[in-house]
Each structure stands twice: as structure tokens, then as C-alpha cells.
Amino acid sequence: MQYKVPFVNYPAHYHSMKKELDAVIEEVLSKGDLILRSQLRQFEDTMASFVAVKYAVGVNSGTDALHLSLLAAGVGHGDEVITVAHTFVATVAVIVHCGAKPLLVDVGEDYNMDVEQLEQSITPRTKAIMPVHLNGRLCNMEKLMDIASKHNLIVIEDAAQALGASFDGKKAGSFGLTGCFSFYPAKVLGAAGDGGIVTTNNKEIAERIGLLRDHGENRTSGDILCFGFNSRLDNLQAAILDVKLKHLPQWIERRRQLASLYHEGLSDLSELKLPPAPQSDTSYFDVYQNYVVRSQERDRLVAHLRESGIEILISWPKPMHHHKALGLGHFHLPVTEQLSDEVLSLPMYPELSDKQAEFVIQTVRNFCT
């Protein structure tokens, strides 16, 4: 189906910076700089500076950023890691792949970990907390870090949807031992394929992840220091991302403008629950990776929007812990379960025009009134 308002618009995104991207692609391919070359180092340095940390290590996906972070932190068999179910399955999968046990806590009204429930889930075997900064909004990291410090727990941030977001002026990916980002094409900063990065202030962890991403080999000495993986962010993607990163602040500002338009156009509808408007709470700077609304008539609203030519997304219509094959059914997470019945994401990307946003608003209003 050809939508009047697509959920994302990859062609428009490319054409908005075609000359810059074509030039850097030609440069990388002409030089043959494909793996672990200067473009990757440059992007890692730029990302570390952007997040305000000392180190960044490019890997091949946000999933591997999480997985290698847990391994580098020493999480393994017999350990427990606390996280949430209202997230992409990769967040929990990496815990299982390390041989550790996931402990799931419920989320709050902001779709992020309910920190008030966190402490009661900690056991003597708990080694780490993995908060997920969902939809471009951070968890309450002040309370979370206090609890982690009190119990001597590692914090690995799943910041895949929150690049550029901050809490009390401190950016996602700079609170925990590591921050883990995804460059999946639909993210606020997207590659031309898969990609990810780990940010940290810990030199030893950065070096360890650098080994794990490249088969455990020290490229200087040639020594293999551990059994690692093939998880390198390739130079072509790094060069593309480095170009895009220069545009990210203006893209974030555009997302916040669109969020304001949605809020102004929909906030009087009692049938909907909206995310916080920009500047509604000065502790949070949200980047609106997704603009998620809630409705008890979600499925009917979705059908109406799609029939009207608007593409939307329902991320997780079935709660993760209700997938029987995953063996997580013993967790009782009422808010997570309710959200799976009620949430949908409206189109949200920098190339979305005011006219398109207004069409979305009017279409939603037609359904609700």
C-alpha cells in the first residue's frame, strides 16, 4: 500500500543529504577503507564527544552492544540481570545468551522501568540492572543509579532509542558502566543497514569490548587474548553515520517541533493518553524516537488510520513475557500487559511535513469526535 503519510521515509531522508552521503561513500570505496580504518576511529571519537564520555566502540548492532557490554562486565552463568519486558526482545535475549537469568520488573506510565519496584526485585545473585530508555525518554536515572550504588550493581544502559536525550542535563549512555546504541535505519541516527556502538568512561571495558568485537585479537601484537566475535562496525557505515551525526541536533529539534504539533492538536481528546510535551518537565530532554499514544480503542483507531492512508506501528501487540517459547510467563507485569493492548506509534521523523502531521492529527480527531 502506498501511504499518504508513511511511518518513516527513507528515500526523503537520503535525498535530503544526497551529495554529502554520495561523496563519503565514494571516498571510502575509492580508498578501500572497509574494516577498522580511520573513518571508524573518527566516528567513535565524535560519538564519544557527543555523548560526553571518554570512549566509544563501534559494533555491528545495538544487540551486540548490549551483549558485549554484559560479557565485558563479567556477567555470566548464575548471575541475574534486572530489566523490563516492554522492550524489543533483544534486551532480554542478550542476558540469556550470557548464561544469566533475566528478572523482569514492570514499567510506569512513561513506558520506562518503574524504579519504585526495582529494589524489591534485587536478590543476592543480582549483578546488573539494564534500564531501557524507551521512545527517546530516559528512565529516572537519579533514583536508579542511587539504588545501583547502594547494592553495588552494574548498570548497562539500553539507549538504543535515546541518542541525544538527557536527564538533568546528562545524556543517555553516560550514566552506566556502558551505554548501548543502535543505528538501525529507523533510529534517530540511522545507518544504511545495521550498526551499533558502546559508550563508556572505563578504559578497561572499552579495550575489552574492542577485543570481543574482533575475534579477541590484539591487532597491534597479533596475539589472540580471548575467544571473541565478528562484530565490527564497518567503515562505510561509520563514515555515513559521521556525516549524519552533524545533522542530528537539527533532526532532534524537528522531532520536538512535531511532538509539539501533535500535543497541541490532540491534547484535548480525553480518549487518548499522550507522551509529555517538550519542556513539560525540565529534568527530561526527550528526542521522540517514537510518538506513542494510548487508546482503549487502539485496534479500531489503527484500522481507521491505515484506511485513511497513514502508516503506524504497534511495536509489541503481545507482551514479551507472554511468548511461551521464551519461558518468562511466571512474571506478572500488569502495566506492560495493558500497554500492549493500548499503544500505537504515530509517524515521527524529521522529513515529516507540518501538512502531513496536521493530516494525522485531523484523522485521529475524526475518529475520536
C-alpha 183/C-alpha 119 separation (Å) is 32
Q: Please report, rounded to a whole number, the percentage of residues in the chain having pLDDT higher than 70.
A: 100
Residues 6 or more apart whose Cβ sits within 8 Å of residue 307? none
Choose the final residue of a domain: 229, 245, 261: 245
Kind and range of the H or E run holding 96: helix 90-97
The answer on 84 and 221 residing in a single domain is yes
Could you give the C-alpha distances from 314 to 62, 144, 245, 343, 344, in angstroms and in order?
20, 28, 28, 7, 5
Q: Is residue 12 part of a domain?
A: no
C-alpha 92/C-alpha 96 separation (Å) is 7
Residue 121 and residue 353 in contact, taking contact as beta carbons nearer than 8 Å: no
Q: Which candidate, 4, 13, 8, 3, places its Cα nearest to that of 347? A: 8
The answer on 237 and 269 residing in a single domain is no
Gyration radius from the chain CA atoms: 21
Kind and range of the H or E run holding 236: helix 235-245
Q: Which pLDDT band, with edges at 50, 70 and 90, does 279 fall under?
A: confident
Q: Is residue 6 part of a domain?
A: no
User: 133-148 pLDDT, tens per residue?
Assistant: 999 999 999 999 999 9
The answer on 253 and 163 residing in a single domain is no
C-alpha 241/C-alpha 234 separation (Å) is 11
The answer on 188 and 153 residing in a single domain is yes
* For the chain, the helix, strand and coil percentages under 3-state DSSP, each to the nearest 5: 40, 15, 40
The average confidence (pLDDT) of the chain is 97
The answer on 210 and 63 residing in a single domain is yes
Q: Is residue 132 part of a domain?
A: yes
Question: Is residue 367's pLDDT more than 80?
Answer: yes
Question: Is residue 1's pLDDT more than 80?
Answer: no
**SS3 state at 235:** helix
Choose the final residue of a domain: 197, 213, 245: 245
The answer on 239 and 120 residing in a single domain is yes
The answer on 174 and 83 residing in a single domain is yes
Residue 178 pLDDT: 98
Choose the final residue of a domain: 245, 273, 293: 245
Q: Cα torsion for 186, 338, 101, 216, to the nearest 10°?
A: 0
Could you give phi then psi for residue 222, rounded to 5 degrees?
Answer: 85, 0
The answer on 40 and 139 residing in a single domain is yes
Q: Which pLDDT band, with edges at 50, 70 and 90, does 278 fall under?
A: very high
User: 146-163 pLDDT, tens per residue?
Assistant: 999 999 999 999 999 999
Q: Is residue 13 part of a domain?
A: no
Residue 369 pLDDT: 84
CATH number of the domain bearing residue 354: 3.90.1150.10
The answer on 25 and 159 residing in a single domain is yes
Q: Is residue 1 part of a domain?
A: no
CATH number of the domain bearing residue 214: 3.40.640.10
Q: How far is CA 163 from the centre of its chain?
A: 7
Residues 6 or more apart whose Cβ sits within 8 Å of residue 152? none
Average pLDDT over residues 61-66: 98
The answer on 81 and 54 residing in a single domain is yes
Q: Is residue 93 part of a domain?
A: yes
Instruction: For residue 206, give the C-alpha cell.
Output: 572499552
Strands (E), the chain: 55-59, 80-84, 101-105, 126-129, 154-158, 166-167, 170-171, 178-182, 196-200, 272-273, 284-285, 291-295, 343-346
Q: Which pLDDT band, with edges at 50, 70 and 90, does 2 fall under?
A: confident
The answer on 330 and 212 residing in a single domain is no
Q: Is residue 352 part of a domain?
A: yes
Average pLDDT over residues 63-79: 98
The count of residues in the chain is 369
Q: pTM higher than 0.85, yes or no? A: yes
Q: Which domain holds residue 268?
A: 248-368
The answer on 116 and 218 residing in a single domain is yes
Average pLDDT over residues 311-330: 97
Average pLDDT over residues 218-242: 96
Q: Is residue 275 part of a domain?
A: yes
Q: Which pLDDT band, with edges at 50, 70 and 90, does 281 fall under?
A: confident
Domain count, the chain: 2
